[in-house]
């Protein structure tokens, strides 16, 4: 068994900021909306209607009418962690989550459009209640983004767009230390950021796009600081209550060939610069995504693939107690480790004004083994599946 002090510190650190693991790159959804998720999470250059509010708002300028889309995702992760040498493991009870989304775009038909998107981007944590070996650790982080945006066609196939991102977050951390419960109840915060985008129609068939999501500072009072207080001597003081959502840089290309759309994106998620994630040792994450879509008479079908490198650093024995503690934190309480996602979806026009879209995202199981002290290995297995359904109304 691990030394008690190292284990306790690790569990404390882990519960400090255990954030959700959706069908994700790190803790970020690979795409917002059924069309984007069906095509591997792309959308920096491919136009998906009102869904583009949080992928590249410049593409909203391509809208020719008013569209409203609303729906949600049923997300089911499976995270199993244990000590191979001891024959002990446990599967987190936080295995089901519902993520809502609503988006609107309104166009004047002449290159100007405004849109509003409301997306749940996080909403689960870990639940090891009843597991004394894991200090009965429980954590919940919920994030919701509200994005009003505008887009302009400035001529020659060149579009620009911008959105103000209003983010609501709630964090709750608690765990058992002996007979004492550490935690002060849920705290909430609002943060503000922005998203900028441009798109350019190189030809009638080829579009390229670039986007930038700013970091969003979030502070959850008496969460990280309270949870870390018992272990301040190990940490060099209590931890900050900041847990910032990182900046994202994106670039994409989309090519239309008759009824066929082919699209690809590249993103870099700046975990290594984000307050909170930086102190947990997360590194910048490179993401590549691709999708293909066939549109027929009143229907479409699509598929895609998304790969994001694991942003969580694996610390060796030479990293000392702090590095081994971070191993324990990341791979037990925040295993944002899935890398590959396979996506599939389709849509059907129910009437002239209404259509239904659906997508499935599957992340096959990954398995990581890390050192948590000189003699103990921790093994985490993680897989995900998510089902998205949305209705679209055109006016």
- The enclosing domain of 67 has a CATH number of 2.40.160.60
Q: What's the domain count of the chain?
A: 1
Q: Which residues of 195-214 are buried (b: 16+ CB within 10 A; e: fewer)?
A: bbbbbbbeeeeebbbbbebe
Of 341, 283, 289, the closest CA to residue 310 belongs to 283
Q: What is the pLDDT of residue 159?
A: 98
Start-end of H helices in 122-251: 224-228, 232-235
Phi, psi of 327 (to 5 degrees): -55, -50
Q: What is the pLDDT of residue 122?
A: 59
> pLDDT tens-digit profile of 162-216?
999 999 999 888 888 888 898 888 999 999 999 999 999 999 999 999 999 999 9
Of 333, 358, 334, 336, the closest CA to residue 347 belongs to 358
State how far the Cα of 106 lies from the Cα of 114, in Å rounded to an integer: 6
Say if residues 87 and 176 touch (Cβ distance below 8 Å): no
The encoded tokens of residue 252 equal 């994409």
Q: What is the pLDDT of residue 90?
A: 87
Spell out, as residue ranges, where the chain has pLDDT lower than 70.
1-23, 121-124, 234-235
Q: What is the pLDDT of residue 314?
A: 92
pTM over 0.85: yes
Largest CA distance in the chain: 68
Q: What is the pLDDT of residue 3?
A: 42
> pLDDT tens-digit profile of 312-355?
989 899 888 888 878 877 887 788 888 999 999 999 999 999 99
Q: What is the pLDDT of residue 12?
A: 35
Note down the domain range covering 371: 4-394
**β-strand partners of 393:** 68, 354
Q: Which helix (H) or strand (E) holds 13?
A: helix 4-16
- Matching residue, tokens 């935690």: 183
Say if residues 355 and 349 touch (Cβ distance below 8 Å): yes
Q: What is the pLDDT of residue 351?
A: 95
């Amino acid at each position: 068994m691990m030394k008690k002090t190292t284990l306790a510190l690790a569990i404390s650190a882990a519960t400090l900021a255990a954030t959700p693991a959706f069908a994700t790159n790190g803790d970020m959804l690979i795409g917002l909306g059924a069309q984007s998720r069906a095509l591997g999470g792309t959308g920096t250059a491919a136009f998906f209607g009102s869904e583009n509010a949080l992928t590249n708002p410049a593409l909203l300028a391509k809208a020719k009418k008013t569209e409203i889309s609303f729906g949600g995702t049923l997300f089911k992760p499976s995270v199993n962690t244990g000590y191979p040498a001891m024959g002990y493991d446990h599967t987190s009870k936080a295995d089901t989550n519902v993520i809502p989304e609503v988006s609107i775009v309104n166009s004047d038909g002449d290159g100007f459009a405004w849109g509003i998107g409301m997306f749940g981007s996080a909403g689960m944590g870990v639940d090891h209640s009843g597991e004394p070996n894991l200090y009965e650790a429980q954590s919940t982080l919920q994030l919701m983004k509200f994005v009003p945006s505008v887009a302009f066609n400035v001529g020659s196939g060149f579009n620009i767009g911008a959105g103000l991102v209003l983010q609501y977050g709630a964090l709750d951390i608690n765990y058992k230390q002996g007979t004492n419960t550490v935690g002060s109840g849920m705290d909430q915060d609002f943060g503000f950021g922005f998203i900028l985008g441009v798109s350019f129609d190189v030809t009638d068939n080829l579009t390229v796009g670039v986007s930038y999501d700013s970091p969003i500072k979030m502070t959850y009072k008496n969460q990280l600081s309270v949870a870390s207080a018992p272990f301040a001597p190990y940490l060099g003081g209590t931890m900050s209550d900041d847990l910032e959502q990182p900046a994202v840089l994106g670039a994409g290309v989309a090519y239309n060939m008759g009824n066929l759309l082919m699209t690809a994106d590249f993103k870099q998620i700046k975990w290594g610069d984000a307050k909170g994630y930086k102190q947990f040792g997360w590194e910048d994450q490179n993401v590549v995504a691709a999708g293909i879509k066939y549109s027929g008479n009143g229907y479409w079908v699509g598929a895609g693939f998304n790969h994001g490198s694991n942003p969580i650093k694996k610390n060796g024995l030479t990293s000392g107690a702090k590095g081994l503690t971070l191993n324990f934190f990341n791979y037990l309480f925040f295993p944002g480790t899935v890398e590959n996602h396979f996506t599939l979806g389709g849509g059907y026009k129910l009437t002239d004004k209404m259509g239904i879209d659906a997508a499935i995202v599957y992340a096959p199981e990954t398995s990581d083994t890390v050192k948590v002290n000189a003699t103990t290995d921790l093994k985490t297995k993680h897989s995900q599946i998510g089902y998205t359904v949305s209705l679209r109304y055109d006016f």
